[in-house]
A and B are shown apart, each in its own frame.
Chain A
Amino acid sequence: MNTIALVGNPNSGKTTLFNALTGSNQHVGNWPGVTVEKKEGVLKFNEKIYNIVDLPGTYSLGAFSEDEIVARDYILKGNPNVVINVVDATNIERNLYLTTQLLEMGAKVVVALNMIDEAKERNIKFDIKALSEKLGAPVIPTVASKRKGIEELIKQSIELIEKDIDFKANISYGENIDKEVEKLKGFLNNKDLEYPSQWIAIKLLEGDKYIYELVNKDENVNSSNEFKNVIHNIKNNTEDYELEIVDKRYEFVSNIADLTVTLPDEAEETITDKIDKVLTHKWLGLPIFALIMLIVFQLTFTVGEDLFGELMGRGIEILSEIIENLLIIINSPSWIISFVTEGIIGGVGAVVEFVPLIVVLYMLMGFLEDSGYMARAAYVMDNIMRALGLQGKTFISMIVGFGCNVPGIMSTRTLENKKDRMIAILINPFMSCGAKLPIYLVFIAAFFPNNGGLVLFFLYLLGIVVALLMGKIFSKTLFKGESSYFIMELPPYRLPTLRNVLRNMWDNVSGFLKRAGTTIFAVVTVLWVLAMLPLGVEPYGQSSILGQIGLFIAPIFRPAGFGTWQAAVGLFSGIAAKEAVIATLGMVYAGVSQGAELVSTIQEVFTPLTAASFMVMTLLYIPCAATIGTIKKETNSYKWAIFTVVYTFAIGWLGAVLVFQIGSLLGFS
């Protein structure tokens, strides 16, 4: 039975053509030794049966992937009687690269110029006859999805099976390489090799390791010292040859396309280009980015807090009352009632109350991400990083750090340069992670409800500025050396889909809720026990173990204006997880602390100025335990983990003290 192989680029419509040729007469298996799917089918035409093999979609026939190897081995060793090369007519130049390689192999090729209808719609015109002549292979326009041109394609393929024609690509790879090819062919001809000698010669010059091994193993070929010398010389020039050969193939393709394909008039400037001229502008890019973020934060407060925030707070209050009443009805011991209402609902509830804001914030961020804008934001920031002499890729890890510092630090693995990586690791904790949001939201609700977006914006900005400054200092002191640079690819803009925006939001909100139900719950439980012990002391009082820990630490924070034991304990618990700061404050201001009541309690014990210094402290001070552990793991050193704890605490403390002291001097309270 004659065999027809189908080969083509991914998305060229090859599988659609395979289905059109074989109908339901097909079966799926695997190619031997690999996990690549093998599809075979049967074509019945004019009472004859043909075996149709659908080869894996590939752009090239090198040895770069399993798909490429499977496709090229089958064409060379499987001996198909004819190869149908499915070419996407809307992307002909790219597709003809594979055609060129097929012709180099000497395969009997029929080109199925597929999706010709789409090409017509795009005003792409072909001189089919000329294209066929230039390639030296029949070219049949097809629309596989509508079964157009299929019969002609089959006829041409069958006709070719019966003809005895030598197929070859009329490519010159340049004088030097052509000479080398001829020289190699001299050694390879008549040696009974598995592959055509011309093709082996080209592959040797391209540095194909698989072919090198094959030739080296073959004693017929390898026995000649002269051949060994030729191979040795080639090896020294492989890089140049490889580039030249690939480039000549492109030249061959381009020349054919120029002569046989008419593309529509030069494409006008795309919408993406027009938008980018503004959004990535040298001077306007950064202010626009800042403005967009400001709008995002302001909308978060307007929509999240004003519309839904109160509802959530009220909901938690009602839930607390219901649970408390239930516990009283079933005669629960007072410590259980205290634990559930003051510990869990007071602590975890204080965190959960901010879910509406988180929902709105991450929906808006999802909108920006899905539209392609965030890549532009990274590009705009990359320019600043370069200006500061820092590696631009550092900002990618910083952006990741906005979600969580742990993956932010782990993403620095892509930085090859040790200096760049160490700096990126050490400054990542200044990125305001999602877990710090509830802290800001409580204090903003208490003191800056009308300027919430602005305050949040300045906090994020401060984190970035401190990170960049520290990066600059580290690059001049601890880690000197030259940074390496990279270039970013900007994807085209697209209209965000509701599905993607909602998924992004849900990923973040579910993570937030999961943390509230696990880590925060555990921290609250431990702190509740510490707030109750020793037995007999006033619960949540300063005589409890928790109060004593707070009293011990509190003096450090007096210069920053919040030297109370409750604030100190809150910051201390934040080392376990940042949301725990609010959960702890919610609990230690015991009983009074659910929902809006935490906000009103905070209004009593803080002032706008101390609230500002407290927020700066939480933004900059010691990262959470998971982040510290990751720093130790990634630097493989306790030294750097301890260094991070010490220096971030110093920076946070200094920042908070500066805010409070300068604010006081200026007459703020």
Chain B
Amino acid sequence: MLKDVLKEINDSDYISKTNIAAKLNKSEGLIEDAFFQLNRMGYIKEEKTINSCNLKCSNCPYSNSCNNIPIKSITVTEKGKKLLGR
């Protein structure tokens, strides 16, 4: 299943866990868990834009508003690509 999820991630234009769950006939919760496992094992890398607010710019008057857009990005790592290539 994990490889199937990884393939779906790699082949998608954008990630929708609902779509992947429907396509693989699994529950969304299980797909959520699969993402967690793939991330833990280093096959994908998940990042949220909020990370970039971990900056030393608290003195900036705009620091509260610098990064409100909740964008989560996922990159298939080299390890992930290697697995898909097999």
- Listed in ascending order, the chain A residues whose CB lies under 8 Å from chain B are 59-60, 62, 64, 91-95, 97, 239, 242-243, 246-247, 250-251, 253-254, 257, 263, 266-267, 270, 272-273, 276, 280, 362, 366, 369, 372, 374-375, 378-379, 383, 392-393, 396-397, 399-400, 403-404, 406-408, 410-411, 413-414, 434, 484-492, 504, 507-508, 510-512, 514-515, 518, 626
Contact = CB atoms under 8 A, between A and B. Distances in A.
Nearest to A435: B62
A294 to B, nearest CB: 19
Given A91-B29, A280-B14, A508-B62, 11 more contacts: A250-B34, A273-B16, A379-B13, A396-B52, A400-B67, A407-B57, A407-B63, A414-B47, A487-B12, A491-B70, A511-B60
Contact of A407 (B22, B60, B71, B83): B60
Given A434-B62, A511-B61, A93 B29 contact: yes
A62 B49 CA distance: 27
A489 B15 contact: yes
10 contacts: A60-B37, A92-B27, A266-B22, A267-B18, A273-B19, A406-B60, A411-B52, A489-B73, A504-B65, A511-B65
B41 A94 contact: no
A479 B15 CA distance: 29
Contacts of B27: 91-94, 257, 263
A419 to B, nearest CB: 16
Contacts of B51: 414
A617 B26 CA distance: 54
Nearest to A504: B68
Interface string B15-59: 111110010001101101110110011010011010111010100
Main secondary structure of the interface of A (DSSP, over half): helix
B64 A511 contact: yes
Given A93-B29, A266-B22, A396-B49, A490 B14 contact: yes
Given A59-B36, A267-B22, A243 B73 contact: no
A375 B40 CA distance: 25
A491 B72 contact: yes
A295 B20 CA distance: 34
Contacts of A378: 69, 71
A515 B49 CA distance: 24
B14 A488 contact: yes
Contact of B1 (A59, A95, A250): A250
A492 to B, nearest CB: 8
Q: Secondary structure of the B side of the interface?
A: mixed
B63 to A, nearest CB: 7
Contact of A512 (B60, B61, B73): B61
Nearest to A95: B29
B70 to A, nearest CB: 6
Given A396-B73, A400-B67, A406 B57 contact: yes
A400 B73 contact: no
A145 to B, nearest CB: 20
Contacts of A383: 13
B81 to A, nearest CB: 11
Contacts of B29: 91, 93-95
Contacts of A491: 70, 72
A514 B61 contact: yes
A5 B66 CA distance: 44
Given A404-B66, A510-B64, A379 B14 contact: yes
A393 B41 CA distance: 23
Contact of B33 (A59, A242, A514, A518): A59
Contact of B67 (A392, A407, A489): A407
Contacts of A243: 2-3, 41, 43, 83
A411 B49 contact: yes
A627 to B, nearest CB: 11
B61 A487 contact: no
A374 B75 CA distance: 20
A515 B63 CA distance: 12
A530 B65 CA distance: 34
Q: Among the interface residues A374, A396, A626, which one has the most CB atoms of the partner chain B within 10 A?
A: A396
A626 B62 CA distance: 12
A276 B57 CA distance: 35
A272 B18 contact: yes
B61 A518 contact: yes
B32 A246 contact: no
Nearest to A250: B1
Contacts of A485: 75
A259 to B, nearest CB: 15
A490 B67 CA distance: 16
A15 B5 CA distance: 32
Given A243-B41, A393-B73, A93 B61 contact: no
A239 B14 contact: no
A396 B66 CA distance: 12
